[in-house]
Structure 1
Amino acid sequence: MTSVDSVQFNLESSLYQAYQASLVLGDLQGRDRSRALKHMAHALDSAKDEILEANTLDLEACEDMAVPDLIRDWLRLTPERLQGVVQMLEDLSVMVDPLEQGIATLSSGNGQTQAFTQLVPLGVVAFVYESLPALGEIAAGLCLRSGNSIILRGSADASQSNTAIAHALQRGLEAADLSPACITHLGAEQGSVLRDLLVKSQWVNLVIPYGRPSLVAKVEQSATAPVLKTGIGNCYLYWAASGQLDMVQWMIQDSYATEPDPVNAIEKVLINRDVSATMVRLLWESLKTAGFQVRVDQAFGTEPSDLETVDPAEWSQPYLSRTIAFRPVPSLDAAVQWINAHSSSHADCIATESYAESQEFCQKMNSATVYVNTSPRFCRNPSQSSQLALGMSNQKGHRRGPIGLTTLTTVKTIILGSGQVNP
């Protein structure tokens, strides 16, 4: 097994094996990677009891520590959550192989040469994640489908779960006659492993951190390998003067409907000052009834005396809970400036009946995804399997937006000629 759980091990050797495994994966036919994914799904399904037992041990260990409710929910596995990942692996196994899709063909001006680009794997992807043990399974499936090997480095609170999952996936690889080094699991109990992993850019082609902003910032600051930043929480909604109350209510509540991690949950709402105070109060009351905690900016004055006031620092921080803060703004421009300065820049929204206003909002927003009159709810495994995604990237570097199969590839350009070109 290539699960590195003992204190004594050679990280350099493990990464070299992962690199060699990536060369084999990238050279396979799409049908062979499909076969491996089916074996991984079967192995995971067969190991459900083992994985749930390991998860119970992780949850019991958390009882002696001050673990936030959010993290406990992220950590918790259920038969339904595991079955969802098994189904995702099955879906990936029947998808069109991304490496077998052409991109573009260009001809030179003199017609003597022709160039085309094709998608190729990145190589070795390191996935550093917090709690959420099922994310390791999803990341491994996406990497295998796109021809990459993966290094899994989960957090200590999910150590037992992550190990059980990695072992199951590796059994699936072996059943498909592939090296278990395609999926390497690094134990979280080794404190220096993460620091060493992040600077191995000669073997690691991409690092994806997933978790609270503090984890993402730590990885970004330490890594010498390229980093694909992810964003969760602190998404904004601008309620324009023409926006309808029922639309705003639905957008907010629906954004929290995905479990266990509401990646794009609306946490902050900017309200145009021309929206009636009656509608605003109705929204607050409906959210409180639905179990949300409502906070308001002091700019609302003393009228909402029953609501907690927002601390100014909160506007740039995710709550990652059913807490929503409200602030009045005079115009769309003011809303855009505020959101661009304070949101996590991966998913922001507008509720409006004005086409011109929606177009202006979309044009001016500095966010990876912008939503107009629709819920920003993110789903890793929607009914349209072609949209399977690991998370959302909020950067302007390697890729931006949903982290899907093509995100885990790069391009190769091939130029074909017929010999010497006459001037």
Structure 2
Amino acid sequence: MTESIEKRVKKAHQAFLEMSRAKGVERSLAVSLMAEKLEECFDDILQANTLDLEISREMSVPDLILDWLKLTPQRLEAAVEILKTLAELPDPFQKVINAPYQVTYCQNYSQLMPLGVIAMVYEALPDLAIIAAGLTIKTGNSLILRGGSESSNTNTIISQILQVALEEADFPSSCIEFLPSEQGYSIQDLITQNQYLNLIIPYGRPSLIQQVTEMATAPVLKSAMGNCYLYWSLSSDLDLVRSVIVDSHSSLPDPVNAIEKVLINSQQKSTSIIRLFNYLKENDFVLKGDDALVEEFPDYLNPVKESSWYQPFLTKTIAFRRTDDLQSAIAHINEYSSGHANCLITDSYQEGRIFAMEADSALVYINSSPRFYRYLQGSNSVFLGVSNQKGHRRGLISLETFTTLKQIVVGDGQM
């Protein structure tokens, strides 16, 4: 008989309490064993993924989700490499931080602590479960995975392998709980378990993020994908504009920070714009524009719906429109973009400062590609995604995102 969702969440909470006694070196060892076990089972994981792909194609699953679902050996190896990197990083809880405020006559300091039980609700992207598991175990948290039905077989075998690794490391296997959708574990039932859940991370299309955000009774960390804007200033380098746009779409399979909307200074020369259009078409982009630009460049652009300025395409599609100046571009970005990553290409230092201060975005890129990396070779940072909500978890979702701050007050016995 299938255990109730309440029991599964409670088991994850109990596992978190048991794991709180584990030292940093033990958590690192557990992450290292997870990587080792996954490597031993590559063929089994890829076989399960092939089965999921076959079933999904028969069920006419959208091409976007099929792209997210398809695990290549390279994607699997990249996820395992991230686990190995996490295992080698210092214990995040060794840092002592200055207290945000002082209590009279007492010594004060703050300490990073684990959050508790984290639930991740995600579409396809089975390698994302591996990375999330590494981040949560490294930070002493429990993880509940609720993937989509399209990746059920892949998610099942990945979670089983991770649990075997945890048991070998003498960790409770319930540190990672997997809830298969076909066993009746609904998203709503999971995200309303606020008694034990400390954080919910939805990852996927905007419809999923909205669904989870509206129904959850536990805290939600909204991730964002696509609908990033670029403002092409009059004082800028066309070659840089071209390379930044193309490079931003290179973080496959989920190009989180892909530039999908480009605002062009109204005085930009038509010849430069045409050169950009030709370059993007040669790189297999679909180009759209507002009515004025479509009329000006009918051979290059198709009309874009007004609602599309708010929404991500999540494909190699870019919409263009002219704008008068930097201030009007910032106003448009602040109203329409997803607010997690936006870009400016300019030769003006002053424009760069204004954009950095006034663009309402978690990440601002000036003369730089916003391309998203979960792990950049040679760095010591690992990122799950990007959050566009305001608060202390805004921006890149990293190890610190899975921690909370505890303030410790030490007195001398006097009142």
Q: What does residue range 282-293 of structure 1 map to in structure 2 within 5 Å?
A: 282-293=275-286
Of 12-21 and 359-368, deviating more is: 12-21
Inter-partner Cα distance in structure 2 for 1:280 and 1:348: 20
Counterpart of 1:247 (choices 240, 250, 253) is: 240
Contact (CA 8 Å) 1:107, 1:114: kept in 2 or not? no
For residues 130-170 of structure 1, give each alpha carbon's deviation from its aligned partner in whole angstroms, at most 9, with x where no partner exists. Answer: 01000011001000011100000000000000001001111
Residues 165 and 281 of structure 1: is their aligned pair in 2 closer, same or farther, counting only changes over 3 Å? Answer: same
Inter-partner Cα distance in structure 1 for 2:383 and 2:134: 11
Contact (CA 8 Å) 1:21, 1:182: kept in 2 or not? yes
Residues 296 and 172 of structure 1: is their aligned pair in 2 closer, same or farther, counting only changes over 3 Å? Answer: same
Q: What does residue range 219-238 of structure 1 map to in structure 2 within 5 Å?
A: 219-238=212-231
Inter-partner Cα distance in structure 2 for 1:394 and 1:108: 31
Find the counterpart in structure 2 of residue 214 from structure 1.
207
Contact (CA 8 Å) 1:115, 1:416: kept in 2 or not? yes
Counterpart of 2:149 (choices 156, 162, 168) is: 156
Find the counterpart in structure 1 of residue 362 from structure 2.
368
Shift of the alpha carbon at 1:300? 2.0
Instruction: Check if 1:67 corresponds to 2:61.
Output: yes
Instruction: Check if 1:411 corresponds to 2:401.
Output: no
Instruction: Check if 1:56 corresponds to 2:39.
Output: no
Shift of the alpha carbon at 1:351? 0.2
Inter-partner Cα distance in structure 1 for 2:50 and 2:103: 65
Instruction: Check if 1:321 corresponds to 2:315.
Output: yes
Structure 1: state its 5+ residue gaps: 1-5
Find the counterpart in structure 2 of residue 113 from structure 1.
106
Counterpart of 1:79 (choices 68, 73, 76) is: 73
Instruction: Give the SS at the match of 1:189.
Output: helix
Instruction: Give the SS at the match of 2:119.
Output: strand
Find the counterpart in structure 1 of residue 30 from structure 2.
36
Shift of the alpha carbon at 1:416? 0.5
Find the counterpart in structure 2 of residue 139 from structure 1.
132
Contact (CA 8 Å) 1:350, 1:372: kept in 2 or not? yes
Inter-partner Cα distance in structure 1 for 2:270 and 2:83: 49
Shift of the alpha carbon at 1:237? 0.2
Shift of the alpha carbon at 1:109? 7.9
For residues 222-262 of structure 1, give each alpha carbon's deviation from its aligned partner in whole angstroms, at most 9, with x where no partner exists. Answer: 00000000000000000011011001001101001111110
Find the counterpart in structure 2 of residue 393 from structure 1.
387
Shift of the alpha carbon at 1:9? 1.4
Inter-partner Cα distance in structure 1 for 2:103 and 2:128: 48
Of 188-197 and 390-399, deviating more is: 188-197
Q: What does residue range 373-384 of structure 1 map to in structure 2 within 5 Å?
A: 373-384=367-378
Counterpart of 2:175 (choices 179, 182, 189) is: 182
Contact (CA 8 Å) 1:114, 1:416: kept in 2 or not? yes
Report percent identity of matched pairs. Answer: 48
Instruction: Give the SS at the match of 1:32.
Output: helix
Instruction: Check if 1:276 corresponds to 2:275.
Output: no
Inter-partner Cα distance in structure 2 for 1:301 and 1:402: 36
Shift of the alpha carbon at 1:301? 5.5
Structure 1 runs (4+) greater than 6 angstroms displaced? none
Contact (CA 8 Å) 2:294, 2:303: kept in 1 or not? no
Contact (CA 8 Å) 1:236, 1:349: kept in 2 or not? yes
Inter-partner Cα distance in structure 1 for 2:41 and 2:379: 24
Shift of the alpha carbon at 1:26? 2.6
Q: What is the one-letter code of the residue matched to 1:178?
A: F
Contact (CA 8 Å) 1:107, 1:113: kept in 2 or not? no
Inter-partner Cα distance in structure 1 for 2:218 and 2:103: 38
Contact (CA 8 Å) 2:5, 2:185: kept in 1 or not? no
Residues 106 and 13 of structure 1: is their aligned pair in 2 closer, same or farther, counting only changes over 3 Å? Answer: closer
Instruction: Give the SS at the match of 2:58.
Output: coil
Inter-partner Cα distance in structure 2 for 1:290 and 1:155: 32
Q: What is the one-letter code of the residue matched to 1:409?
A: T
Counterpart of 1:17 (choices 11, 22, 35) is: 11
Inter-partner Cα distance in structure 1 for 2:14 and 2:327: 52
Inter-partner Cα distance in structure 2 for 1:119 and 1:108: 18
Inter-partner Cα distance in structure 2 for 1:293 and 1:198: 37
Aligned CA-pair RMSD = 1.4
Of 98-107 and 283-292, deviating more is: 98-107
Inter-partner Cα distance in structure 1 for 2:9 and 2:273: 55
Q: What is the one-letter code of the residue matched to 2:111?
A: Q
Find the counterpart in structure 2 of residue 3 from structure 1.
none
Of 190-199 and 59-68, deviating more is: 190-199
Residues 201 and 240 of structure 1: is their aligned pair in 2 closer, same or farther, counting only changes over 3 Å? Answer: same
Q: What does residue range 93-112 of structure 1 map to in structure 2 within 5 Å?
A: 93-105=87-99, 108=102, 112=105
Find the counterpart in structure 2 of residue 300 from structure 1.
293
Of 375-384 and 20-29, deviating more is: 20-29
Residues 136 and 301 of structure 1: is their aligned pair in 2 closer, same or farther, counting only changes over 3 Å? Answer: closer
Find the counterpart in structure 2 of residue 88 from structure 1.
82
